[in-house]
Amino acid sequence: MRATSKVFYSIATYLFVSLIVYILGVTFVKDDGYLYGPEWVGIVGMLLSIVLCLMLGGYLHFTDNRSDVLPEDWEEAETEDSAGILGFFSPSSIWPLAMTGSIALLGLGVIFLYYWLIALGAACLIAACTGLSLQYGLPKEKH
């Protein structure tokens, strides 16, 4: 069993202990004056969280057995062993800033429900995403 599956099994164990404390707390602590008994929405939500963590832990447990030793499972690994190729980042691109501004416009339009600002922000976001995607794909100017 590797580190990834142990993490999800540990989270499921913590959630199970929290569920027991939650059930005891909402069932036997009568501090609201009128409502007695368990609170089913919280109990079902925590049970589903436990099941989700167990499912993810089981999946990672079964798939980790079929793969090689990962750098985080190897005790003598260095930080550089798990660092992969990060990709190419343009040093002087204006498009991430343009995307940030257009997302801000779009967000302000949604917050204040200005349809014209939503349309303007969406158009600017489409233009900025297109510019970022085609930044190095367009041919150079010949003048």
Q: Say if 75 falls within a structural domain.
A: no
Same domain, 60 and 13: yes
Give the per-residue pLDDT at 34. 59
What domain count does the chain have? 2
Same domain, 56 and 23: yes
Same domain, 6 and 65: yes
d(CA 128, CA 133): 9
Domain span at 63: 2-69
* Contact of 110 with 122, CB cutoff 8 Å: no
Q: In this predicted model, what pLDDT tens digit does every residue of 79-138 receive, in sequence order?
A: 777 777 777 777 888 999 999 999 999 999 999 999 999 999 999 999 999 999 988 887
Torsion-angle region of residue 67: left (phi > 0), alpha (psi -120 to 50) or beta?
A: beta
Q: Say if 10 falls within a structural domain.
A: yes
Q: In this predicted model, what pLDDT tens digit does every residue of 17-30 receive, in sequence order?
A: 999 999 988 887 77
Q: Based on the number of CB atoms within 10 Å of its own CB, is 121 exposed (0-12), middle (13-18) or buried (19 or more)?
A: buried
Q: Say if 88 falls within a structural domain.
A: no
- Name the pLDDT band for 65 (thresholds 50, 70, 90): confident
Same domain, 29 and 65: yes
Q: Say if 46 falls within a structural domain.
A: yes
Give the per-residue pLDDT at 80. 77
Q: In this predicted model, what pLDDT tens digit does every residue of 8-20 receive, in sequence order?
A: 999 999 999 999 9
